[in-house]
Amino acid sequence: VLSEVSRPKKRFAKATIATMILIAVLFILANVAYLCAVPKELILGNDLDMANIFFENVFGNEIAPRVMSAIIAFSIFGNIVVMTFTASRVKQEIAKEGILPFSLFFARSTTTPYAWFKQRFWPSRSKILEQSPATALLLHWFFAVILVAATSSTSTSIAYLVLVLLYCYTLTVIVGFFVAAGVLYLRYTKRREWTDNLGFKPWGGPTAAIIYSCTCAFMIVGVFIAPGEESPFSYKATGVQHYIVPVVGLGMLLLGYAYYLVFAKLIPRWRKEVLVVEREPIIVRQGGRQDGEGVQILEVVEFWWAARQSGKEA
């Protein structure tokens, strides 16, 4: 994703810090506004969305909550667009490793309709048009349909709750734990010499990764503890057993790992061959200058099965 951003090394760091600060300030101000405008009785005894209650109390009519619901829906749509783009890129990178069926098909990129339209009517000198992982997006759509279909037999509120909790548990908690733990592993494994190629020193060293990995590890295990009957996450309140989401999330993780073991260990042993993957990134300098930052514009991927030699990979 960052390969499509101009000067990613500088802009990503600045944008991340500025965004985190802005979100933290807005989050605090929103909660202060809720406490000032909404009575405590409504906060504790109402299951409706707090933003809708806030708008209704401030503007005093029925239109305000509907406007707020439209704003929330628009915000959710933006998050879906971002996650869809990111998830399709992740699936494309997995396909580039050759471990998916029809990997070359899902690893390819196609010109976006916007880029084609722009080049058609307002041609530019650049021959490199914006690309999108359309085939990987198709794969993402397929699994999204499976998730929606799996929860279609329940009510809309329960289905939405299960999907949101499953998303938070798998992508935020489980993936977050492995990412943070992986950063610590790379940092403290001397033979990898990962810290020598960082190019910058993060604030606080590994403190953030340690805190985040410990927090995620606690939530991975803690979610199996049954909530109290009066809890908003109890079976009485949600209609969903507390262990369903973590079991499904961890089950899918173990299923993916089992698939990887079959492809990486059993199939090569059965074929007596190993999968050879060659990835050649095409990198250009920003602005065509020699001192410009390198940005990847495309990548050539090839893979094939090769015979083993003396018990080692060819």
Residue 178 pLDDT: 93
Is 166 in contact with 175 (CB distance < 8 Å)? no
The DSSP element (H or E) to which 281 belongs, if any, is strand 273-285
Measured distance CA(124)–CA(109) in Å, rounded: 20
Q: Tell me which residues of the chain have a pLDDT lower than 70.
A: 1-7, 42-49, 126-128, 191-202, 286-294, 309-314
H runs (alpha helix) in the chain: 8-37, 40-45, 50-59, 63-96, 103-107, 113-121, 134-150, 156-167, 175-188, 207-222, 235-238, 244-261, 267-271
Q: Are strands 273-285 and 110-111 parallel, antiparallel or unpaired?
A: unpaired
pTM beyond 0.85: the answer is: no
At residue 123, the pLDDT reads 79
Longest Cα–Cα distance in the chain: 79
Residue length, the chain? 314
- Whole-number Å distance between alpha carbons of 83 and 71: 19
Report residue 100 as tokens. Answer: 């998916």
DSSP code of residue 2: G
pLDDT in tens, 92-142: 888 888 888 888 888 888 888 888 888 888 877 766 677 788 899 999 899
pLDDT of the residue at 272:
85
Encode 120-162 in three state secondary structure: HHCCCCCCCCCEECHHHHHHHHHHHHHHHHHCCCCCHHHHHHH
